[in-house]
Structure 1
Amino acid sequence: MVKLYALVVMHKNVNTATCLKASYDLQSFSFFQRGSVQEFMSFISKTIVERTPTASRQSVKEGEYMCQVYVRVDNLAGVLITDHEYPSRVSHTLITKVLDEFSASIPANLWPTSNETTIDFPHLPGYLTKYQNPREADALTKMQEDLDETKIILHDTIKAVLDRGEKLDDLVAKSDSLSMNSKAFYKTARKTNSCCNFG
Protein backbone atom coordinates (compact mmCIF):
# COMPACT_ATOMS: atom_id res chain seq x y z
CA MET A 1 0.00 0.00 0.00
CA VAL A 2 1.51 3.31 -1.08
CA LYS A 3 1.75 6.05 1.48
CA LEU A 4 1.88 9.82 1.82
CA TYR A 5 3.38 10.91 5.15
CA ALA A 6 3.79 14.67 4.98
CA LEU A 7 2.82 17.69 2.91
CA VAL A 8 4.64 20.91 3.81
CA VAL A 9 4.52 24.48 2.44
CA MET A 10 7.58 26.61 3.18
CA HIS A 11 9.08 29.95 2.29
CA LYS A 12 12.74 29.99 1.36
CA ASN A 13 14.62 33.14 2.30
CA VAL A 14 18.27 33.10 1.13
CA ASN A 15 19.75 30.16 3.13
CA THR A 16 16.89 29.47 5.50
CA ALA A 17 13.38 28.10 5.15
CA THR A 18 10.32 28.72 7.31
CA CYS A 19 7.36 26.37 7.53
CA LEU A 20 4.13 28.16 6.59
CA LYS A 21 1.81 25.14 6.84
CA ALA A 22 2.22 21.39 7.25
CA SER A 23 0.09 18.28 7.51
CA TYR A 24 1.15 14.76 8.49
CA ASP A 25 -0.35 11.28 8.27
CA LEU A 26 1.63 9.21 10.76
CA GLN A 27 -0.91 6.50 11.62
CA SER A 28 1.49 3.82 10.40
CA PHE A 29 3.92 4.71 13.22
CA SER A 30 3.41 3.76 16.83
CA PHE A 31 1.67 6.38 18.95
CA PHE A 32 4.85 7.02 20.93
CA GLN A 33 6.99 7.55 17.81
CA ARG A 34 4.69 10.01 16.03
CA GLY A 35 5.92 13.21 17.71
CA SER A 36 9.55 12.42 16.96
CA VAL A 37 8.80 11.26 13.41
CA GLN A 38 6.85 14.47 12.73
CA GLU A 39 9.63 16.65 14.15
CA PHE A 40 12.19 14.81 12.08
CA MET A 41 10.14 15.03 8.86
CA SER A 42 9.77 18.76 9.48
CA PHE A 43 13.54 19.05 10.00
CA ILE A 44 14.30 17.08 6.81
CA SER A 45 11.81 19.20 4.81
CA LYS A 46 13.48 22.41 5.97
CA THR A 47 16.99 21.02 5.28
CA ILE A 48 16.10 19.93 1.73
CA VAL A 49 14.28 23.17 0.86
CA GLU A 50 17.29 25.18 2.08
CA ARG A 51 19.50 23.16 -0.27
CA THR A 52 17.25 23.21 -3.32
CA PRO A 53 17.97 26.02 -5.78
CA THR A 54 15.14 28.42 -6.60
CA ALA A 55 13.03 27.39 -9.62
CA SER A 56 13.95 23.71 -9.35
CA ARG A 57 12.59 20.35 -8.31
CA GLN A 58 14.34 17.50 -6.55
CA SER A 59 13.44 13.98 -5.51
CA VAL A 60 15.57 12.68 -2.67
CA LYS A 61 15.56 8.95 -1.86
CA GLU A 62 16.45 8.09 1.68
CA GLY A 63 15.90 4.68 3.20
CA GLU A 64 12.27 3.78 2.66
CA TYR A 65 11.23 7.39 2.00
CA MET A 66 11.07 9.74 -0.98
CA CYS A 67 11.23 13.47 -0.34
CA GLN A 68 9.84 15.40 -3.28
CA VAL A 69 10.59 19.12 -3.24
CA TYR A 70 9.81 22.09 -5.47
CA VAL A 71 11.06 25.63 -4.86
CA ARG A 72 9.29 28.10 -7.12
CA VAL A 73 10.78 31.26 -8.63
CA ASP A 74 9.02 33.30 -5.91
CA ASN A 75 10.69 31.10 -3.21
CA LEU A 76 7.45 29.43 -2.17
CA ALA A 77 8.36 25.78 -1.62
CA GLY A 78 6.52 22.51 -1.22
CA VAL A 79 7.69 19.17 0.17
CA LEU A 80 5.91 15.83 -0.05
CA ILE A 81 7.29 12.84 1.86
CA THR A 82 6.10 9.49 0.50
CA ASP A 83 7.17 5.88 0.25
CA HIS A 84 9.04 4.67 -2.86
CA GLU A 85 5.89 3.30 -4.50
CA TYR A 86 4.20 6.68 -4.80
CA PRO A 87 4.56 8.02 -8.39
CA SER A 88 6.93 10.97 -8.68
CA ARG A 89 4.79 12.70 -11.33
CA VAL A 90 1.72 12.63 -9.09
CA SER A 91 3.81 13.95 -6.18
CA HIS A 92 5.09 16.91 -8.14
CA THR A 93 1.67 17.64 -9.62
CA LEU A 94 0.22 17.71 -6.10
CA ILE A 95 2.98 20.03 -4.85
CA THR A 96 2.40 22.40 -7.79
CA LYS A 97 -1.37 22.40 -7.20
CA VAL A 98 -0.97 23.09 -3.47
CA LEU A 99 1.53 25.91 -4.04
CA ASP A 100 -0.69 27.50 -6.69
CA GLU A 101 -3.66 27.38 -4.33
CA PHE A 102 -1.60 28.64 -1.40
CA SER A 103 -0.23 31.60 -3.37
CA ALA A 104 -3.73 32.44 -4.63
CA SER A 105 -5.11 32.67 -1.09
CA ILE A 106 -2.13 33.97 0.94
CA PRO A 107 -0.49 37.16 -0.40
CA ALA A 108 3.25 36.85 -1.13
CA ASN A 109 4.11 39.84 1.06
CA LEU A 110 3.01 37.80 4.11
CA TRP A 111 5.24 34.77 3.42
CA PRO A 112 8.55 36.13 4.79
CA THR A 113 7.03 37.18 8.12
CA SER A 114 4.58 34.32 8.67
CA ASN A 115 4.70 30.86 10.21
CA GLU A 116 2.39 27.90 10.84
CA THR A 117 0.45 29.65 13.59
CA THR A 118 -0.21 32.85 11.64
CA ILE A 119 -1.25 31.35 8.28
CA ASP A 120 -4.84 30.25 7.70
CA PHE A 121 -4.71 27.58 5.00
CA PRO A 122 -6.73 24.55 6.18
CA HIS A 123 -6.54 22.53 2.91
CA LEU A 124 -3.42 20.39 3.44
CA PRO A 125 -5.01 17.53 5.46
CA GLY A 126 -7.67 17.18 2.73
CA TYR A 127 -5.01 16.90 0.03
CA LEU A 128 -3.06 14.38 2.08
CA THR A 129 -6.20 12.23 2.36
CA LYS A 130 -7.40 12.73 -1.23
CA TYR A 131 -4.02 11.90 -2.78
CA GLN A 132 -3.30 8.79 -0.63
CA ASN A 133 -4.49 6.69 -3.56
CA PRO A 134 -2.26 7.69 -6.48
CA ARG A 135 -4.58 6.01 -9.03
CA GLU A 136 -7.42 8.31 -8.05
CA ALA A 137 -5.03 11.22 -7.84
CA ASP A 138 -3.56 10.28 -11.19
CA ALA A 139 -6.98 10.64 -12.81
CA LEU A 140 -7.09 14.18 -11.42
CA THR A 141 -3.61 14.91 -12.73
CA LYS A 142 -4.00 13.41 -16.23
CA MET A 143 -4.86 16.88 -17.52
CA GLN A 144 -1.48 18.12 -16.33
CA GLU A 145 0.47 15.41 -18.14
CA ASP A 146 3.19 17.87 -19.09
CA LEU A 147 3.85 18.86 -15.46
CA ASP A 148 6.04 21.72 -16.61
CA GLU A 149 9.39 22.11 -18.26
CA THR A 150 11.28 21.94 -14.99
CA LYS A 151 13.51 18.90 -14.79
CA ILE A 152 13.29 16.86 -11.60
CA ILE A 153 16.71 16.05 -10.18
CA LEU A 154 16.83 12.67 -8.43
CA HIS A 155 19.25 12.06 -5.56
CA ASP A 156 19.84 8.62 -4.07
CA THR A 157 20.47 9.91 -0.55
CA ILE A 158 20.20 13.08 1.45
CA LYS A 159 24.02 13.23 1.47
CA ALA A 160 23.87 14.29 -2.19
CA VAL A 161 21.80 17.35 -1.24
CA LEU A 162 23.93 18.51 1.67
CA ASP A 163 26.85 20.88 1.21
CA ARG A 164 30.23 19.21 0.85
CA GLY A 165 31.55 18.05 4.20
CA GLU A 166 28.14 18.46 5.88
CA LYS A 167 26.72 15.42 7.64
CA LEU A 168 23.10 14.84 8.58
CA ASP A 169 24.20 13.58 12.01
CA ASP A 170 25.94 16.94 12.65
CA LEU A 171 22.90 18.93 11.46
CA VAL A 172 20.65 16.89 13.76
CA ALA A 173 23.03 17.40 16.72
CA LYS A 174 23.17 21.19 16.14
CA SER A 175 19.47 21.65 15.43
CA ASP A 176 17.42 23.88 17.73
CA SER A 177 14.19 22.69 16.12
CA LEU A 178 14.55 19.06 17.24
CA SER A 179 13.78 18.09 20.82
CA MET A 180 16.11 15.84 22.82
CA ASN A 181 13.56 13.02 22.35
CA SER A 182 13.67 13.42 18.56
CA LYS A 183 17.47 13.50 18.53
CA ALA A 184 17.58 10.33 20.63
CA PHE A 185 14.92 8.75 18.41
CA TYR A 186 16.96 9.61 15.29
CA LYS A 187 20.12 8.04 16.78
CA THR A 188 18.26 4.88 17.76
CA ALA A 189 16.57 4.66 14.36
CA ARG A 190 19.94 5.08 12.63
CA LYS A 191 21.41 2.25 14.72
CA THR A 192 18.51 -0.10 14.04
CA ASN A 193 18.23 1.17 10.46
CA SER A 194 14.47 1.57 10.81
CA CYS A 195 11.69 4.14 10.66
CA CYS A 196 13.59 7.36 10.09
CA ASN A 197 16.44 6.08 7.98
CA PHE A 198 17.03 9.51 6.46
CA GLY A 199 20.79 9.60 6.88
Structure 2
Amino acid sequence: MKVHYIGIVRNLPGAEPQELVSEKELSAYSRFTRNSYAEFMSLFAGKVAQATKPGQRQDVEQQEHTFHAYARSEGVCGIVITDHEYPQLVAHQLLSKVVDEFLGQHPLSTWKTGSPTLAMPQLKEYITKYQDPQQADSILKIQKELDETKITLHKTIESVLQRGEKIDDLVQKSDGLSAQSKMFYQQAKKQNSCCVVM
Protein backbone atom coordinates (compact mmCIF):
# COMPACT_ATOMS: atom_id res chain seq x y z
CA MET A 1 0.00 0.00 0.00
CA LYS A 2 1.42 3.32 -1.02
CA VAL A 3 0.48 7.00 -1.29
CA HIS A 4 2.18 8.56 -4.33
CA TYR A 5 0.64 12.05 -4.42
CA ILE A 6 -1.32 14.51 -2.28
CA GLY A 7 -2.41 17.75 -3.88
CA ILE A 8 -4.90 20.58 -4.14
CA VAL A 9 -6.09 21.59 -7.61
CA ARG A 10 -7.92 24.82 -8.43
CA ASN A 11 -11.16 23.68 -10.03
CA LEU A 12 -13.17 26.78 -10.99
CA PRO A 13 -16.02 26.47 -13.55
CA GLY A 14 -14.97 27.35 -17.09
CA ALA A 15 -11.24 27.49 -16.25
CA GLU A 16 -8.42 25.04 -16.76
CA PRO A 17 -7.46 23.16 -13.59
CA GLN A 18 -4.31 24.44 -11.86
CA GLU A 19 -2.26 22.51 -9.31
CA LEU A 20 -1.91 24.84 -6.29
CA VAL A 21 0.12 22.67 -3.88
CA SER A 22 1.30 19.07 -3.98
CA GLU A 23 3.66 16.56 -2.48
CA LYS A 24 4.87 13.49 -4.38
CA GLU A 25 6.51 10.28 -3.14
CA LEU A 26 8.56 9.05 -6.11
CA SER A 27 11.15 6.79 -4.44
CA ALA A 28 9.56 3.70 -6.04
CA TYR A 29 10.58 4.97 -9.50
CA SER A 30 14.04 5.12 -11.04
CA ARG A 31 15.88 8.42 -11.24
CA PHE A 32 15.35 8.47 -14.98
CA THR A 33 11.55 8.15 -14.83
CA ARG A 34 10.71 10.21 -11.73
CA ASN A 35 10.13 13.45 -13.62
CA SER A 36 7.84 11.69 -16.09
CA TYR A 37 5.80 10.15 -13.27
CA ALA A 38 5.61 13.51 -11.47
CA GLU A 39 4.28 15.18 -14.64
CA PHE A 40 1.83 12.30 -15.21
CA MET A 41 0.48 12.67 -11.66
CA SER A 42 0.06 16.44 -11.92
CA LEU A 43 -1.58 16.21 -15.36
CA PHE A 44 -4.05 13.46 -14.41
CA ALA A 45 -4.77 15.06 -11.02
CA GLY A 46 -5.99 18.08 -12.97
CA LYS A 47 -8.09 15.94 -15.32
CA VAL A 48 -9.71 14.03 -12.45
CA ALA A 49 -10.33 17.28 -10.56
CA GLN A 50 -12.00 18.75 -13.65
CA ALA A 51 -14.30 15.70 -13.91
CA THR A 52 -15.30 15.91 -10.22
CA LYS A 53 -18.32 18.09 -9.47
CA PRO A 54 -18.39 20.34 -6.38
CA GLY A 55 -19.44 18.35 -3.30
CA GLN A 56 -18.64 15.04 -5.00
CA ARG A 57 -16.16 12.35 -4.02
CA GLN A 58 -14.95 9.79 -6.51
CA ASP A 59 -12.27 7.20 -7.14
CA VAL A 60 -10.79 6.74 -10.62
CA GLU A 61 -8.51 3.83 -11.50
CA GLN A 62 -5.76 4.42 -14.04
CA GLN A 63 -3.34 1.54 -14.68
CA GLU A 64 -1.76 0.72 -11.27
CA HIS A 65 -2.98 3.94 -9.61
CA THR A 66 -6.23 5.03 -7.96
CA PHE A 67 -7.07 8.73 -7.98
CA HIS A 68 -9.19 9.66 -4.96
CA ALA A 69 -10.88 13.04 -5.47
CA TYR A 70 -12.92 15.38 -3.27
CA ALA A 71 -14.21 18.61 -4.85
CA ARG A 72 -15.44 21.51 -2.75
CA SER A 73 -17.84 24.27 -3.71
CA GLU A 74 -15.12 26.85 -2.91
CA GLY A 75 -13.40 25.91 -6.18
CA VAL A 76 -10.73 23.45 -5.09
CA CYS A 77 -10.40 19.69 -5.42
CA GLY A 78 -8.20 17.52 -3.24
CA ILE A 79 -6.49 14.61 -4.99
CA VAL A 80 -4.72 11.64 -3.42
CA ILE A 81 -3.06 9.09 -5.72
CA THR A 82 -2.48 5.63 -4.26
CA ASP A 83 -2.07 2.08 -5.44
CA HIS A 84 -5.19 -0.10 -5.72
CA GLU A 85 -4.70 -1.82 -2.34
CA TYR A 86 -4.83 1.41 -0.33
CA PRO A 87 -8.08 1.68 1.73
CA GLN A 88 -10.56 4.15 0.23
CA LEU A 89 -11.81 5.21 3.66
CA VAL A 90 -8.36 6.34 4.78
CA ALA A 91 -7.69 8.13 1.48
CA HIS A 92 -10.93 10.10 1.80
CA GLN A 93 -10.24 10.95 5.44
CA LEU A 94 -6.88 12.33 4.34
CA LEU A 95 -8.57 14.29 1.53
CA SER A 96 -11.04 15.93 3.92
CA LYS A 97 -8.25 16.88 6.30
CA VAL A 98 -5.99 18.33 3.59
CA VAL A 99 -8.75 20.33 1.86
CA ASP A 100 -10.01 21.77 5.16
CA GLU A 101 -6.49 22.78 6.19
CA PHE A 102 -5.75 24.30 2.78
CA LEU A 103 -8.91 26.42 2.84
CA GLY A 104 -8.14 27.49 6.42
CA GLN A 105 -4.61 28.61 5.51
CA HIS A 106 -5.19 30.14 2.08
CA PRO A 107 -8.13 32.50 1.48
CA LEU A 108 -9.76 32.52 -1.97
CA SER A 109 -8.04 35.79 -2.93
CA THR A 110 -4.58 34.11 -2.74
CA TRP A 111 -5.31 31.44 -5.35
CA LYS A 112 -8.38 32.45 -7.41
CA THR A 113 -6.40 33.85 -10.35
CA GLY A 114 -2.96 33.52 -11.90
CA SER A 115 -0.38 30.89 -11.03
CA PRO A 116 0.20 31.40 -7.33
CA THR A 117 3.07 29.82 -5.44
CA LEU A 118 1.53 28.49 -2.24
CA ALA A 119 3.08 26.48 0.56
CA MET A 120 1.60 23.69 2.61
CA PRO A 121 4.53 22.04 4.45
CA GLN A 122 2.34 19.57 6.35
CA LEU A 123 1.81 17.64 3.06
CA LYS A 124 5.35 16.25 3.41
CA GLU A 125 4.44 14.96 6.89
CA TYR A 126 1.11 13.52 5.69
CA ILE A 127 2.61 11.68 2.72
CA THR A 128 5.03 9.99 5.13
CA LYS A 129 2.51 9.32 7.91
CA TYR A 130 -0.19 7.93 5.60
CA GLN A 131 2.11 5.37 3.95
CA ASP A 132 0.91 3.01 6.69
CA PRO A 133 -2.88 3.44 6.76
CA GLN A 134 -3.20 1.46 10.00
CA GLN A 135 -1.00 3.94 11.86
CA ALA A 136 -2.78 6.91 10.32
CA ASP A 137 -6.32 5.70 10.90
CA SER A 138 -7.30 4.67 14.42
CA ILE A 139 -10.33 2.69 13.19
CA LEU A 140 -8.12 0.47 11.01
CA LYS A 141 -5.68 0.08 13.89
CA ILE A 142 -8.48 -1.09 16.21
CA GLN A 143 -9.82 -3.43 13.51
CA LYS A 144 -6.36 -4.98 13.12
CA GLU A 145 -6.10 -5.50 16.89
CA LEU A 146 -9.56 -7.11 16.95
CA ASP A 147 -8.60 -9.40 14.07
CA GLU A 148 -5.43 -10.45 15.93
CA THR A 149 -7.46 -11.13 19.09
CA LYS A 150 -9.90 -13.25 17.09
CA ILE A 151 -7.00 -15.27 15.69
CA THR A 152 -5.58 -15.77 19.18
CA LEU A 153 -8.93 -16.95 20.54
CA HIS A 154 -9.37 -19.27 17.58
CA LYS A 155 -5.92 -20.74 18.18
CA THR A 156 -6.74 -21.25 21.87
CA ILE A 157 -9.91 -23.22 21.10
CA GLU A 158 -7.98 -25.25 18.52
CA SER A 159 -5.31 -26.10 21.10
CA VAL A 160 -7.98 -27.30 23.57
CA LEU A 161 -9.44 -29.55 20.90
CA GLN A 162 -6.00 -30.81 19.92
CA ARG A 163 -5.32 -31.95 23.51
CA GLY A 164 -8.15 -34.42 23.16
CA GLU A 165 -10.65 -32.40 25.16
CA LYS A 166 -13.85 -32.43 23.21
CA ILE A 167 -16.69 -30.11 24.01
CA ASP A 168 -19.14 -33.05 24.24
CA ASP A 169 -16.89 -34.71 26.83
CA LEU A 170 -16.80 -31.50 28.84
CA VAL A 171 -20.60 -31.25 28.75
CA GLN A 172 -20.96 -34.89 29.91
CA LYS A 173 -18.52 -34.27 32.75
CA SER A 174 -20.47 -31.22 33.88
CA ASP A 175 -23.72 -33.23 33.75
CA GLY A 176 -22.04 -35.93 35.85
CA LEU A 177 -20.95 -33.31 38.38
CA SER A 178 -24.52 -32.03 38.63
CA ALA A 179 -25.84 -35.56 39.35
CA GLN A 180 -23.13 -36.12 41.99
CA SER A 181 -23.98 -32.77 43.58
CA LYS A 182 -27.65 -33.73 43.79
CA MET A 183 -26.79 -37.08 45.37
CA PHE A 184 -24.50 -35.43 47.88
CA TYR A 185 -27.23 -32.92 48.80
CA GLN A 186 -29.81 -35.72 49.32
CA GLN A 187 -27.42 -37.77 51.48
CA ALA A 188 -26.53 -34.74 53.55
CA LYS A 189 -30.22 -33.99 54.05
CA LYS A 190 -30.84 -37.61 55.23
CA GLN A 191 -27.92 -37.45 57.63
CA ASN A 192 -29.11 -34.21 59.13
CA SER A 193 -32.76 -35.35 59.46
CA CYS A 194 -31.97 -37.64 62.39
CA CYS A 195 -30.86 -34.75 64.50
CA VAL A 196 -33.47 -32.27 65.57
CA VAL A 197 -32.37 -29.01 67.08
CA MET A 198 -34.49 -27.77 70.00
Q: 8 Å contact 1:59–1:67 — kept in the other structure?
A: yes
- The answer to which structure has the higher strand fraction is 1
How big is the alpha-carbon RMSD for the aligned residues of Structure 1 and Structure 2? 1.7
Q: Secondary structure at the match of 2:31?
A: coil
Match for residue 12 of structure 2? Answer: 13
Please give the residue correspondences for 1:147-186 in structure 2 after superposition, counting only pairs within 5 Å.
Answer: none
What's the TM-score once normalised by structure 1's chain length? 0.67
2:120 — aligned with what?
121
Counterpart of 1:131 in structure 2 is 130
Question: What is the identity, as a one-letter code, of the residue corresponding to 2:58?
Answer: Q
TM-score, normalising length from structure 2? 0.67
- Per-residue CA deviations over 1:12-33 (Å, capped at 9, x if unaligned) read 1114211110110010011100
Is 1:51 the counterpart of 2:51 in the alignment?
yes
Shift of 1:113: 2.2
Deviations 1:23-70 (CA, angstroms, capped at 9, x unpaired): 100100111000000001100000111111111011001221100001
Q: Distance in 2 between matches of 1:106 and 1:50?
A: 21
Percent sequence identity over aligned pairs: 35
SS at structure 1 position matched to 2:59: strand
| Count of aligned pairs | 140
Q: CA deviation at 1:141?
A: 8.3
Gaps of 5+ in 1: 143-199
Q: Which runs of 5+ in 2 are unaligned?
A: 142-198
Structure 1's consecutive aligned runs of 4 or more residues displaced over 2 angstroms after TM superposition are: none
CA distance in 1, matches of 2:27, 2:112: 32
**CA 1:100/1:114 → structure 2, altered by over 3 Å: closer, same or farther?**
farther
User: Looking at CA atoms only, which structure, 1 or 2, has the larger radius of gyration?
Assistant: 2
The structural deviation recorded for 1:111 is 2.0
Distance in 2, Cα, partners of 1:114 & 1:72: 20
Partners of 1:101 and 1:118 in 2: CA distance? 17
